[in-house]
Amino acid sequence: MEKADQIIHAKWIITCEDRNRVLENHALVIKDGKILAILPSKNTAELYQAASEQHFSTHTIIPGLINSHTHIAMNLFRGLADDLELMDWLNNHIWPAEGKWVSHDLVYDGSLLAMAEMLRGGITCFNDMYFFLDATAEAAERAGMRAHIGLTVIDVPTAWAKTPDEYFAKGLEFYQRYKNHPRITPTMAPHSTYTVSIENLIKVKELADQHQLKINIHLQEAPSEVEQSIKLYQKRPLQRIQEIGMVTDKLIAVHMTQINADDFALLEQSKASIVHCPESNMKLVSGSCPVEQLLQRGINVALGTDGAASNNDLDMFGEMRSAAFLGKMTANDPKAVSAETVLKMATINGAKALGIDHLTGSLVPGKAADFIALDLEQIETQPLYHPVSQVVYAASRHQVTDVWVAGQQLLKERQLVNVDEGEIIAKAKEWRDKIQQKEAVIS
């Protein structure tokens, strides 16, 4: 009889390996934050003795969802400016609001609000790009989530850093502080090719090589970005970063709604990952990423919500459904971007993009115990023929009842374990009052 920490029994377990196995009446055995075994529930008693045992008889367990691109502190700007074009939205609304309000406190409170939302929606890991990285990391420590935090670089002064050199210096300080953290991983995050000079992009690439870091960048998000690049440099943004050696398996290219034949070939050769953000792309009418064509070429496509100011939620269930529907429309094929495919985009493909697929993203022995329980015995998901179809096309995030990261239970019967919901809502209201008052004066 082997000793374990927890045994979690479930009606179904969807593993999200290369093939989505759906196991019925199975259990996850957890020890030291990792999955020790997955086996039929009836066999656990003879093999394992655990300190705690839980039964989820109407639930499916799936890997924790991975939000592969977001700006979580922007949750405090949710609903501030809607129904605008990307450049109008950025130049006239979001950047001025950020210029006035972004601070360590705003980022901490906004990050905690976003983490509470993400955990309640079954997201266990996120990949962020923002400012005041320490504030996001402190919130992640408190909430218990797995966090990839970008060392943001942008040639525009903000409250966090005034010059590119200051961005690099602050980013490197953050890297030194968190490089060995078990759940917090620094990455490089140049904002885009239109906001970061080629000299600074070269510096980003050198630092990424030196410290073996992934590079996140908004890339070919909308037609205007590509047109402007061709006008100024006679090259597409992807080509510009390819010329400095940035297009490799370390690249996480976010959005990529504009892809021509040369781009496809380059992405395929390089083994770069794409993060698809369908709801942000639809809301800002940026374009639609040709997901099916990318997947057919073997290119890894993950899924992200983007920030709450352009979405307006951090809901990976909504994002999965949007990715499937938009993917079908874009390919003009109802068989494209299936439920099976989008569930993997939201789990194992995200882990591959972030370089942590050895650690999380699917439910197999040896990986971290990052998983969620989703109650399917609700009006909205009955009757049930195919669990994967139900998870993607019918379930909502409100059916997520329990969430674990590295074996730690962070949501229990829909209650957050480490953070206080009332306190988070009160802080959000305080910020709304401050930001709204100032906006009213301006208008």
Residues making contact with Zn ion (CB under 5 A): 306
Asked if residue 109 lies in contact with residue 309, where contact means CB atoms within 8 angstroms, the answer is no
Shorter beta-carbon distance to Zn ion: residue 219 or 388: 219
**What minimum distance in Å lies between the beta carbon of 195 and Zn ion?**
12
Round to whole Å and give the CA distance between 44 and 40.
7
Tell whether the torsion through CA atoms of 189, 192, 196 and 199 is positive or negative. positive
Closest approach, Cβ 275 to Zn ion, in A, equals 9
Residue 338 has phi, psi (to 5 degrees) of -70, 170
Identify which of residues 280 and 362 has a Cβ nearer to Zn ion in the complex.
280
Residue 277 C-beta: closest distance to Zn ion, Å: 7
CB closer to Zn ion out of 186 and 387: 186
> Between helices 133-143 and 104-120, what is the axis angle to 10°?
40
Residue 222 beta carbon to Zn ion: minimum distance, rounded to whole angstroms: 12
CB of 225 or CB of 306, closer to Zn ion: 306
Rounded to the nearest whole angstrom, what is the least distance from the CB of residue 268 to Zn ion in the complex? 24
The number of beta carbons lying within 10 Å of the beta carbon of residue 244 is: 15
- Sheet strand arrangement including 400-405: 34-40, 22-31, 2-14, 48-63, 371-375, 400-405, 408-412, 415-416
Cβ atoms of residues 122 and 317 within 8 Å: yes
Residue whose CB is less far from Zn ion, 303 or 339:
303
Question: What's the min distance (Å) between Cβ of 172 and Zn ion?
Answer: 22
DSSP 49-71: EEEEEEEEEEEEEEEPEEEEEE-
Nearer to Zn ion, 289 or 359 (CB): 289
| Nearest distance from C-beta of residue 301 to Zn ion, angstroms | 16
Residue located via tokens 């990391």: 137
What's the Rg (C-alpha) of the chain? 21
Residue with Cβ nearer Zn ion (129 or 140): 129
Q: How many CB atoms lie within 10 A of CB 264?
A: 16
Cβ-Cβ contacts under 8 Å for 353 (sequence gap 6 or more): 68, 127, 214, 252, 273, 274, 275, 300, 302
Residues whose CB falls within 8 Å of the CB of residue 58, separated by 6 or more in sequence, listed in order: 11, 375, 376, 377
Helix residue ranges, H only, 297-376: 316-331, 339-345, 348-354
Backbone angles phi, psi at 95, to 5 degrees: -65, -40
Question: Are the C-beta atoms of 403 and 410 separated by less than 8 Å?
Answer: yes
Residue with nearest beta carbon to Zn ion? 306
Residue nearer to Zn ion on the CB measure, 61 or 219: 219
Closest to Zn ion by CB, 200 vs 286, is 286
Q: Measured from the CB atom, is 259 or 376 closer to Zn ion?
A: 259
The H or E element containing residue 172 is helix 164-178
d(CA 75, CA 73): 5
Phi, psi of 5 (to 5 degrees): -90, -45
Count of positions (residues) in the chain: 443
Cβ 306 to Zn ion, closest distance in Å? 5
For Zn ion, the closer CB: 200 or 281: 281
Minimum CB distance to Zn ion, residue 216 (Å): 9
User: Whole-number minimum distance, CB 311 to Zn ion, in Å?
Assistant: 10
Give the residue with the Cβ less far from Zn ion, 72 or 208. 72
Alpha-helix residue ranges (DSSP H) falling in 260-315: 261-270, 278-283, 291-296
What's the min distance (Å) between Cβ of 280 and Zn ion?
Answer: 7
CB 148 within 8 A of CB 177: no
**Least Å from the CB of residue 74 to Zn ion:** 9
